[in-house]
Structure formats: structure tokens, C-alpha cells
């Protein structure tokens, strides 16, 4: 009897344990979801005690702060506060004088810059014509040629010092996008004396510029601490005493830090996290359109993708609006060509291919594509959202009689190996958006024969237009060329243009005047705290 009781007890306990185990995981999930809704009642702002300092949570560490070593968005998020270029691009994407007071094109290939006077680098070194010359000599010299920046600036032949505060930039060919390129990344001005004395390796970890904040400490993969530049040349700025950038790769952890007030700004909020932030009363969600666009690009060398009717049919078959509204919860914008609405060269008259499965079937029939034809789709395995999108695409294409095999592969292998070699199936995901916000940057790389990410697309007229816009610095003329180019590309349909990405930022409400940047280049000098 006693033994039986024991067996029963064990059995009951076993069931209890299983139920508990099940509940605990269920319960856990609910916590995540309702976290935001349960928070607001507390009311107080956990970051209030931090005072005139701001902490920003970013997802990755660029590893080197030397402007010519990397070309990463996270570099610009931080370094935009440390370094400045001759030209400044505002958060509203307007070009303004930066370290140069003014400039003048004396002819298509020569620009004379007049520099601002009385500006010092963070180490006290004076900013002058020598520093400008040094910066570009370094960028275009041996040191620069080890990194990814110099290829953006090859139109610069040389920089000549006229006097202490004027320089002449000689160009080897006209470069319509050069002024924009001078507003950041590889073209930010660096201190010659400091680099020569302390060496390049030191500069990687201890950057010195002229910007509103100076970097006072950097722990790789942990944090970069920026303090106010007391001698900043813009009157009364910056307003904050200190900004710390913390590197927190996992989005859920970044969100936890934001909820606990450990950070004030969270970069890269996932679509699924948006509601939690909106539901917390001391936080706000800020969204901003980015230059980045996503498309399923076709490898035209793989049959039947060589047939323009097939490419158009696939464009008609996919309901892009539905993808944006359901999978991306509306945090994305429709596009008609492979560029965002911010891009110079975007054609607002073109509307995305409408969702029309009947038309798609017709075109496929005309092209002689048999029902059940299988297409390989390659996507990077790390992008969870895009996996869902690929499944939706597969569903839409099945509706018009095509079969899709989704191949989820390592992202780096996809972009650096499979796409360039034409091994990425009939179509593949490609995300792109240059910070210059000029269609030149995208179109040349994607449609000109022989470029890295153009395994097979070839069209004489497209190439002629690409060359023509590059040869001109007249923006009206270029706009006209781009109008023609976009219309042509729309017809040729070398890809299915899915959407323009929207960046989400979670921001503590104690911050005032924080405007999220379109292209990751955060500016914090005007930001204040309550």
C-alpha cells in the first residue's frame, strides 16, 4: 500500500513538473510581450538621475576609429561627433559649409576651399591647410590603399596648399557627388602632428578630430566615452557634457537596458519591439526613412530570368504592400526602383508594380514558362524578418504557377562570394543604399557590366546613361538622365523592388532635440536633457 502511494506520488509530481516546465516557458513569453504594458504604471524615469549625460546603445563596434580603415554605419554613428569634414551635411540632408567656410569651382576639375580660422583639434593642434592636405595625402596614399575608403575619392588627384587657410583640390575627372563625399567618412580631417607623432595604431583607438565631442576612453567591444569639446567652434555647442556609446549586440538586451534607463537611445529597434517601447511612458519610438532598400535581384544569365516578361511577371505576382503592412508592421516604404525616396535620382512619377497575379500568369504564359517551373531564391540566414518575407514571396509565386526553393545561406558568403560569382540562384536578396544618397552610387555598382554585384545584367542604353550622368556636374542635367534611366530600369525589371527600410530608434523622453539620422550618422550637439 505504502509502495503504491509512493509510485502515485512520483507520477503526480512528474505531471506537475511537466506542467510547470511548460508554464514557465509560456509565462516567460508573456512577460516579454506585456513588459511594456506593465511598466507605465511605475511612472518614474529611471534615467533621470544621470544628469547632463547621454548613453546610446549601438549594435556593433567598428573596431577602429581611424576614418580610412573602415566603412561602417556604426563607425559613423559615433565618429560623426568626433570628426568633421570640409563640408557638413545636416540631419535634414542639406550640404553646408563645415570646416571650410566656402568653396568655389574654378572649373569642372578644380575646387578652391577657404578654411575656417581659429579651429583646434582636440589635442590643441591647429586646423589649417596643411591638415587638409595631410588628410587627403594619407587617404589616397599607401595607408589609405589598405582600406575601403580611398576608392570613393579617386577623383581627387591632389590637394595643394595655397596659404594657411586656402587649399585647391585638383580633380582627375568631374565628380558630381564629391561635395557630399567630403561631408563624412574617409574625408573627415585628421590631425597631422598627432598621427605622425603617435602612429597609426594609436590613432585607431584614440581618435582626435575637431568635432563637438572628444573621445576620452574606448574599451573595444564595450564602450566609447565622448566628452564635451570645450573649444568647439560652433558657439554654445555642444549642450551635453558627456555621451557614452555602449556596444550591445543583442536587440533584446539593448531594449532591457533602455527599459531600465541604463541607456537613453537605442539604435536598431526590431519591428517586434516597437510596441513595447510605445507602451512605456518614459520612452518614445522614433522612425526615420533610410537610404537602404531591399530587392530580390534576378540573375539574368539563368533561364528563364533572361526574359523581361518573366521578370515583370514576378514583379506583378508579389504583393509588396501586404508584405510591408503585415510582416514589417508598416515600418517600411514602397519603392519603384532600387533606391529610396531620399536618393537623388529617385523618380516619384514611377509607382511600384501593382499586385496583379492575373497579369503575371499571362506574361508567364506568353514567355512560355511551364507551370511548376522551379526557381532558386538565396537569402542571408541571419535576417529573421527576411525569412518570413521569402516565405511570403514563395507563396505569391506559387499562386502564379512558379515553385520557389528558398536557400538560406551565410550572409557574408552570399554578398562576397555567391552573388559576384553568379552562384546565388535565379534571384537573391540584395540590400543596398549608399550614404551619398545619389543613385550613381547604387546604379553603377548594380547595373554596369563587370561590377562586383552585377553577375550578368547587361544593357547598352543603361550603361550609356550611367556614363553620361557621371561625366556631368550639372545636377539638372543629371536629374534628367536619372529620370530616363529609372524609366528604363523600371521596364527592364532587373529586380523586384520590395521596400525602403525604416530605422527605429527608442528614445528616453528626458532627451530634447534628438532627431534620428536617416543614414546612421547621429548628431548630438544640439541635444539637451530635462
Residue with cell 526615420: 288
Distance CA 143, CA 125 (A): 22
Q: β-pairing, 53-58 with 265-266?
A: parallel
Query: Which residues from 107-146 bind other proteins, rule CB under 8 A?
Result: 142, 145-146
CB closer to other proteins, 371 vs 417: 417
Q: Which of 141, 150, 147, 86 is nearest to 119 (CA)?
A: 86
Q: β-pairing, 528-529 with 511-512?
A: antiparallel
Report helix angle 384-399 to 308-317, nearest 10.
110
Is residue 266 within 8 Å of 258, Cβ to Cβ? yes
Is residue 438 within 8 Å of 180, Cβ to Cβ? yes
Query: Which residues from 490-529 bind other proteins, rule CB under 8 A?
Result: none
CB closer to other proteins, 231 vs 412: 412
CB closer to other proteins, 13 vs 48: 13
Query: Which residues from 38-67 bind other proteins, rule CB under 8 A?
Result: 46, 60, 62-64, 66
Q: Which stretch binds other proteins (CB under 8 A): 107-115, 120-128, 248-256, 498-506?
A: 248-256
Query: Which residues from 465-484 bind other proteins, rule CB under 8 A?
Result: none
CB of residue 203 vs other proteins: minimum separation in angstroms? 9
CB closer to other proteins, 10 vs 95: 10
Is residue 61 within 8 Å of 218, Cβ to Cβ? no
Radius of gyration of the chain (CA): 27
CB closer to other proteins, 272 vs 445: 445
CB of residue 213 vs other proteins: minimum separation in angstroms? 21
Distance CA 214, CA 230 (A): 9
Q: Which of 45, 53, 71, 155 binds other proteins (CB under 8 A)?
A: 71
Q: β-pairing, 427-432 with 373-380?
A: parallel
CB closer to other proteins, 52 vs 154: 154
CB of residue 454 vs other proteins: minimum separation in angstroms? 11
Query: Which residues from 406-425 bind other proteins, rule CB under 8 A?
Result: 410-413, 415-417, 420
Query: Which residues from 2-21 bind other proteins, rule CB under 8 A?
Result: 6, 9-10, 13-14, 17, 21
| Per rule CB under 8 A, count of chain residues that contact other proteins | 71
DSSP for 211-241 reads SSEEEEEEETTTEEEEEE-TT-SSTT----S
CB closer to other proteins, 12 vs 95: 12
Residue with cell 558568403: 413
Q: Which stretch binds other proteins (CB under 8 A): 23-31, 96-104, 264-272, 486-494?
A: 23-31
Query: Which residues from 146-205 bind other proteins, rule CB under 8 A?
Result: 146-152, 185, 200-201, 204-205
CB of residue 20 vs other proteins: minimum separation in angstroms? 9
Q: Which stretch binds other proteins (CB under 8 A): 234-242, 244-252, 489-497, 501-509?
A: 244-252
Report the alpha-carbon angle 412-413-414, nearest 5: 90
Q: Which of 117, 162, 222, 475 binds other proteins (CB under 8 A)?
A: 222
Q: Which of 187, 170, 171 is nearest to 67 (CA)?
A: 187
First to last CA, the chain: 72
CB of residue 278 vs other proteins: minimum separation in angstroms? 17
CB closer to other proteins, 9 vs 370: 9
Q: Which stretch binds other proteins (CB under 8 A): 87-95, 115-123, 254-262, 324-332?
A: 254-262
CB of residue 167 vs other proteins: minimum separation in angstroms? 24
C-alpha cell recorded at residue 18: 511537466
CB atoms within 10 A of CB 80: 27
Q: Which stretch binds other proteins (CB under 8 A): 82-90, 361-369, 445-453, 486-494?
A: 445-453
Please report how many Cα atoms fall inside a 13 Å half-sphere around the Cα of residue 335, on the Cβ side: 32
CB of residue 224 vs other proteins: minimum separation in angstroms? 13
Q: Which residues, in sequence order, are bridge partners of residue 427?
A: 298, 377
Q: Which of 160, 341, 383, 451 binds other proteins (CB under 8 A)?
A: 451
Distance CA 446, CA 454 (A): 5
| DSSP H or E segment with residue 125 | none
Query: Which residues from 322-381 bind other proteins, rule CB under 8 A?
Result: none
> Does the protein bind other proteins through residue 459 (CB under 8 A)?
no
The torsion defined by the Cα of 304, 306, 312 and 315, in degrees rounded to 10, comes to: 70
Q: Which stretch binds other proteins (CB under 8 A): 120-128, 400-408, 441-449, 481-489?
A: 441-449
Q: Which of 50, 54, 70, 86 binds other proteins (CB under 8 A)?
A: 70
Distance CA 37, CA 276 (A): 7
Q: Which of 15, 32, 52, 172 binds other proteins (CB under 8 A)?
A: 32
CB closer to other proteins, 121 vs 153: 153
CB closer to other proteins, 400 vs 446: 446
Query: Which residues from 256-295 bind other proteins, rule CB under 8 A?
Result: 256-257, 259-260, 262
State whether residue 430 is helix, strand or coil: strand
> Does the protein bind other proteins through residue 250 (CB under 8 A)?
yes
Rounded to the nearest 5 percent, the helix, strand and coil shares of the chain are 40, 25, 40
Residue with cell 540562384: 425
Q: Which of 194, 226, 190 is nearest to 99 (CA)?
A: 190
CB closer to other proteins, 31 vs 172: 31
CB closer to other proteins, 140 vs 502: 140
Amino acid at each position: 500500500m505504502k509502495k503504491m502511494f509512493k509510485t502515485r506520488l512520483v507520477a503526480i509530481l512528474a505531471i506537475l513538473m511537466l506542467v510547470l516546465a511548460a508554464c514557465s516557458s509560456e509565462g516567460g513569453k508573456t512577460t516579454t510581450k506585456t513588459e511594456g504594458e506593465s511598466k507605465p504604471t511605475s511612472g518614474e524615469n529611471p534615467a533621470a538621475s544621470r544628469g547632463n549625460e547621454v548613453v546610446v546603445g549601438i549594435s556593433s563596434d567598428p573596431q577602429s576609429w581611424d576614418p580610412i580603415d573602415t566603412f561602417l554605419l556604426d563607425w559613423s554613428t559615433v565618429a560623426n561627433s568626433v570628426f568633421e569634414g570640409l563640408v557638413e551635411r545636416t540631419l535634414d540632408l542639406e550640404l553646408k559649409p563645415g570646416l571650410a567656410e566656402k568653396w568655389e569651382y574654378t572649373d569642372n576639375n578644380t575646387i578652391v576651399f577657404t578654411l575656417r580660422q581659429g579651429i583646434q583639434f582636440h589635442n590643441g593642434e591647429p586646423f589649417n591647410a596643411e591638415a587638409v592636405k595631410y588628410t587627403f595625402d594619407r587617404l589616397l596614399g599607401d595607408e589609405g590603399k589598405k582600406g575601403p575608403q580611398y576608392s570613393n575619392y579617386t577623383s581627387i588627384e591632389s590637394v595643394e596648399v595655397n596659404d594657411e587657410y586656402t587649399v585647391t583640390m585638383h580633380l582627375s575627372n568631374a565628380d558630381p557627388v564629391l561635395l557630399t563625399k567630403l561631408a563624412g567618412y574617409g574625408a573627415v580631417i585628421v590631425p597631422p602632428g598627432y598621427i605622425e607623432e603617435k602612429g597609426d595604431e594609436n590613432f585607431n583607438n584614440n581618435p582626435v578630430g575637431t568635432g563637438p565631442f572628444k573621445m576620452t576612453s574606448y574599451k573595444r567591444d564595450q564602450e566609447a566615452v565622448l566628452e564635451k569639446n570645450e573649444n568647439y567652434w560652433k558657439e554654445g555647442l555642444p549642450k551635453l557634457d558627456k555621451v557614452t556609446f555602449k556596444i550591445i549586440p543583442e536587440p533584446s538586451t539593448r531594449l532591457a537596458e533602455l527599459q531600465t534607463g541604463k541607456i537613453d537611445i537605442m539604435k536598431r529597434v526590431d519591428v517586434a519591439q516597437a510596441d513595447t517601447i510605445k507602451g512605456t511612458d518614459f520612452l518614445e519610438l522614433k522612425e526615420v526613412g533610410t537610404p537602404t532598400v531591399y530587392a530580390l535581384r534576378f540573375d539574368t544569365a539563368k533561364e528563364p530570368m533572361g526574359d523581361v516578361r518573366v521578370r515583370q511577371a514576378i514583379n506583378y505576382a508579389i504583393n509588396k504592400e501586404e508584405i510591408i503592412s503585415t510582416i514589417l508592421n508598416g515600418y517600411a516604404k514602397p519603392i519603384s526602383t532600387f533606391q529610396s525616396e531620399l536618393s537623388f535620382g529617385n523618380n516619384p512619377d514611377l509607382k511600384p508594380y501593382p499586385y496583379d497575379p492575373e497579369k503575371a500568369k499571362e506574361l508567364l504564359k506568353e514567355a512560355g514558362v511551364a507551370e511548376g517551373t522551379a526557381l532558386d531564391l538565396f537569402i542571408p540566414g541571419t535576417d529573421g524578418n527576411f525569412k518570413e518575407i521569402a516565405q511570403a514571396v514563395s507563396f505569391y509565386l506559387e499562386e502564379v504557377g512558379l515553385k520557389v526553393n528558398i536557400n538560406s545561406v551565410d550572409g557574408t558568403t552570399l554578398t562576397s562570394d555567391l552573388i559576384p560569382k553568379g552562384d546565388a540562384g535565379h534571384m537573391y536578396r540584395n540590400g543596398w543604399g549608399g550614404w551619398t544618397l545619389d543613385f550613381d552610387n547604387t546604379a553603377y555598382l548594380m547595373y554596369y557590366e563587370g561590377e562586383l554585384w552585377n553577375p550578368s545584367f547587361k544593357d547598352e542604353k543603361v550603361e550609356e546613361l550611367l556614363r553620361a550622368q557621371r561625366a556631368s556636374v550639372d545636377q539638372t542635367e543629371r536629374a534628367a538622365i536619372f529620370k530616363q534611366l529609372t524609366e528604363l530600369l523600371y521596364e527592364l525589371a532587373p529586380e523586384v523592388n520590395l521596400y525602403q527600410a525604416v530605422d527605429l530608434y527608442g528614445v528616453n523622453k528626458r532627451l530634447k532635440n534628438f532627431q534620428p539620422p536617416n543614414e546612421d550618422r547621429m548628431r548630438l550637439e544640439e541635444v539637451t536633457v530635462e
